[in-house]
């Protein structure tokens, strides 16, 4: 009986390890950068970001989607490349201090291998469908939505499906006092080692902004202020950057 018991242990222990579910912690950092101000401060990598493109050398990612060699912004940052990641986040921190960027959120998500972790920074607004009387209310989400589905494969790498969406209420194109939704979306599918960081960029938007310039105090005088100041409309370009780091915790 003792020998049979030992045999069962030897057979079933590997099977338990094979089918045990991996838990994955996903660290996310979301930043919005004002490209105009970043260029004025000498940040070079802001013009090298392409829509939805990631760095070279990522296994499982088609070459046609990859940008040219980029020394200013490494999109794939390995566990041993912490200094490169630190330099990049230091740039963003500096931009935030200068008013050229803002850190929007830094969540940590925990999910099972093969399951999607979802995250929303924003809100919802009601839309009446089916007419004013007797209609139903549908709630529409807006803001930053992130869906990350990490799956541990047989090589202990993490196949990571990422869908990032940035949306805002567009009152300029409203219909019957209901705003439209302006949306930017990027979808990526990459293989990562546990602890590697991928940057998802390309969520770029251009808006018009009115700037007021002139002689301080005098330009703010009602009616007469127009003699001492002027308004100018400029295009302001912003980029939302998302850093995703999946890590196997079990």
Q: Rounded distance, CA 26 to CA 111, Å?
A: 8
Written as six digits, the tokens of 226 are 């127009």
User: What is the mean pLDDT of the segment spanning 95-109?
Assistant: 88
The total number of structural domains in the chain stands at 1
Model pLDDT, residue 82: 43
Which DSSP helix (H) or strand (E) runs through 96?
Answer: helix 82-97
Is the model more confident about 185 or about 2? 185
User: What is the mean pLDDT of the segment spanning 81-95?
Assistant: 66
Could you tell me the pTM of the whole model? Answer: 0.66
Q: How confident is the model at residue 85 (pLDDT cuts 50, 70, 90)?
A: low
User: What is the mean pLDDT of the segment spanning 89-107?
Assistant: 85
pLDDT at 53 over 80: no
Highest mean pLDDT among 86-90, 102-106, 108-112, 186-190: 108-112
- Which among 183, 185, 204, 192 has a CA at the least distance from the CA of 149? 192
User: What is the mean pLDDT of the segment spanning 190-197?
Assistant: 84
**Domain encompassing residue 161:** 20-248
DSSP secondary structure code for residue 114 in this structure: T
Contacts for 222-227: CB closer than 8 Å, 24+ residues apart: none
Percent of the chain surpassing pLDDT 90: 8
pLDDT at 244 over 80: yes
Strand partners, 199: 243
- Asked if the structure places residue 70 within a domain, the reply is yes
- Asked if the structure places residue 148 within a domain, the reply is yes
- Asked if the structure places residue 2 within a domain, the reply is no
**Residues 190 and 58: beta-carbon distance below 8 Å:** yes
- Asked if the structure places residue 10 within a domain, the reply is no
Model pLDDT, residue 190: 81
- Asked if the structure places residue 61 within a domain, the reply is yes
Is the model more confident about 6 or about 118? 118
Cα–Cα distances (Å) from 84 to 77, 79, 80, 88, 174, in that order, read: 7, 10, 9, 6, 44
- Asked if the structure places residue 110 within a domain, the reply is yes
User: What is the mean pLDDT of the segment spanning 51-65?
Assistant: 32
pLDDT at 69 over 70: no
- Asked if the structure places residue 94 within a domain, the reply is yes
Q: Rounded distance, CA 102 to CA 117, Å?
A: 24
**Residues 187 and 162: beta-carbon distance below 8 Å:** yes
pLDDT at 205 over 80: no
- Asked if the structure places residue 13 within a domain, the reply is no
- What digits encode the pLDDT tens for the residues 208-243? 767 777 777 777 777 766 777 777 777 778 888 888
User: What is the mean pLDDT of the segment spanning 26-40?
Assistant: 88
DSSP secondary structure code for residue 85 in this structure: H
User: What is the mean pLDDT of the segment spanning 63-90?
Assistant: 46
- What digits encode the pLDDT tens for the residues 149-187? 999 988 888 998 988 888 888 877 777 777 888 887 878
Q: How confident is the model at residue 139 (pLDDT cuts 50, 70, 90)?
A: confident
């Amino acid at each position: 009986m003792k020998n049979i018991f030992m045999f069962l242990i030897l057979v079933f222990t590997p099977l338990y390890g094979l089918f045990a579910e991996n838990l994955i912690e996903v660290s996310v950092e979301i930043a919005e950068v004002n490209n105009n101000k970043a260029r004025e401060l000498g940040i070079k990598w802001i013009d090298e970001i392409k829509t939805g493109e990631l760095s070279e050398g990522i296994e499982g990612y088609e070459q046609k989607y990859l940008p040219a060699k980029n020394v200013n912004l490494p999109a794939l940052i390995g566990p041993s490349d912490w200094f490169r990641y630190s330099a990049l986040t230091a740039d963003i921190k500096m931009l935030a201090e200068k008013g050229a960027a803002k850190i929007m959120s830094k969540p940590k998500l925990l999910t099972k291998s093969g399951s999607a972790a979802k995250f929303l920074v924003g809100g919802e607004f009601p839309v009446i469908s089916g007419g004013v009387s007797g209609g139903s209310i549908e709630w529409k989400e807006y803001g930053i939505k992130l869906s990350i589905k990490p799956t541990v494969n047989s090589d202990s790498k993490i196949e990571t499906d990422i869908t990032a969406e940035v949306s805002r209420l567009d009152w300029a194109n409203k219909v019957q006092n209901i705003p439209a939704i302006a949306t930017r979306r990027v979808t990526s599918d990459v293989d990562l080692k546990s602890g590697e960081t991928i940057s998802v960029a390309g969520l770029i938007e251009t808006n018009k902004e009115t700037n007021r310039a002139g002689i301080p105090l005098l330009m703010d005088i009602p009616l007469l202020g127009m003699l001492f100041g002027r308004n100018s409309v400029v295009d302001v370009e912003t980029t939302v950057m998302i850093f995703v780091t999946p890590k196997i915790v079990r």
